[in-house]
Amino acid sequence: IAESAMAKPGSALYGITNGADPLYIEVPRFSTLFIDQRTPASNADNTVTVTLAVNYHLASRSTLTISGLTGSQTASTASLGITSTSHILGTTGSWTQNLGQLILSSHAGGLAAGLSCTVSFTVKNAASDQLSPSVSISAAIEDGNSHAVGSIPPTAMPKSGAALHGVAQGADPLRVQVPVFTIKSIQQSTPVSGAINTFTMTLMSNYDLALGSTVTISGLTGSATADSAGLPITSTSGLFDATGLWDQSVGQMVLRAASGG
C-alpha cells in the first residue's frame, strides 16, 4: 500500500476546536479569572464572588479548587453553601478553614469551554485587621465518565485592589478592617442650670457610613428634654438627617446617615 495521507475528523473535543485530530495540543488554562468580596468589615458575614471561564469543557465531576482564603472564622465543612451560574457547580462545596480552601465539582452537563461562570459563597470575616491573602485556583478535568483528561495547575487569582466602603483595597478577598471612630469628641455650650444647652460632637470613622447607617450616642442622662422621635440636629454638609431619635431615660441619641453618608 503506497503512502497516503490519513483523514482527520477535524471535530472539537472537550471544547477544543480540532481537538480530535491526532497530537493537536492545547494547554488547559483559565481564560477568565477574577475574585472580590462584598465587605471588609470585621466579624461580618462576607460574600466572596469568583468569576471564571476555562478553555476546556469541565465535564461532570471535574473539580475546581480555590486555595488561600485564610483568616476567616468559618469552620471546616463538607457542605458550604454556594451559588453558581445555572447551578453548574452545584449548591455546596467542601471547605477547609485552615487552608482557606474550597473544592467545587461540576454537575450535569458541566461547565462548557469558554462559558463565564460566577460562583458566590459566604464566610465570616476575621475579628481583627488583615490584608488580603494570596489566592489561587486549580482544576482537575474529567470526561464525565470518571476518566481524567487533564489539569490546570494552581493559578493566582487577580484582584481589583479597589477601595470598598472607604477601606483601601477593601474589595480584595478577606481584606479585613475593624470599623472604629478615629475622632470622637463632644462638648456643650453652657453648664447653667435650666438653660438651653447645645451639644457639639466631632466624629470621623475609618469606614464609610452610607445612607441608612446609624450613629448612637449614649449616656447623656440628666437632661430635662423629653423623649422625641424628631429632635432637631445640624450636621456638616447635611450628612445626617435633620432630626434624631432622643430617649431621655438613657440619654441616648440616634442619628441616621443621609444621602451620600
Q: Is the pLDDT of residue 108 over 90?
A: no
pLDDT at 232: 97
Q: Is the pLDDT of residue 222 over 80?
A: yes
- Band (pLDDT 50/70/90 cuts) for residue 185 is very high
Between CA 27 and CA 155 the distance in angstroms is: 13
Between CA 213 and CA 258 the distance in angstroms is: 8
Q: Is the pLDDT of residue 64 over 80?
A: yes
Between CA 213 and CA 194 the distance in angstroms is: 33
pLDDT at 130: 98
pLDDT at 259: 80
Q: Could you tell me if 71 and 158 are in contact, meaning their C-beta atoms sit under 8 angstroms apart?
A: no
Between CA 221 and CA 82 the distance in angstroms is: 48
Q: Is the pLDDT of residue 73 over 90?
A: yes
How far are the Cα atoms of 42, 74, 137 from residue 129, in angstroms, in the given order?
7, 16, 24
**Average pLDDT for 166-191:** 97
**Average pLDDT for 202-226:** 96
SS3 content of the chain, % helix, strand, coil (to 5): 0, 45, 55
Average pLDDT over the chain, rounded to an integer = 96
How many percent of the chain have pLDDT more than 90? 96
Q: Could you tell me if 110 and 58 are in contact, meaning their C-beta atoms sit under 8 angstroms apart?
A: yes
SS3 at position 119: strand
Which residue's entry shows cell 452545584? 90
**Average pLDDT for 33-54:** 98
pLDDT at 30: 97
- Band (pLDDT 50/70/90 cuts) for residue 151 is very high
Residue 238 per-residue DSSP state: G
Ramachandran category for residue 114: left, alpha or beta (phi over 0 → left; psi -120 to 50 → alpha):
left
pLDDT at 55: 97
The pTM score is: 0.90
Q: Is the pLDDT of residue 261 over 90?
A: no
> What is the enclosing helix (H) or strand (E) of 201?
strand 199-205
- Band (pLDDT 50/70/90 cuts) for residue 146 is confident
Q: Is the pLDDT of residue 260 over 90?
A: no
**Average pLDDT for 13-34:** 95
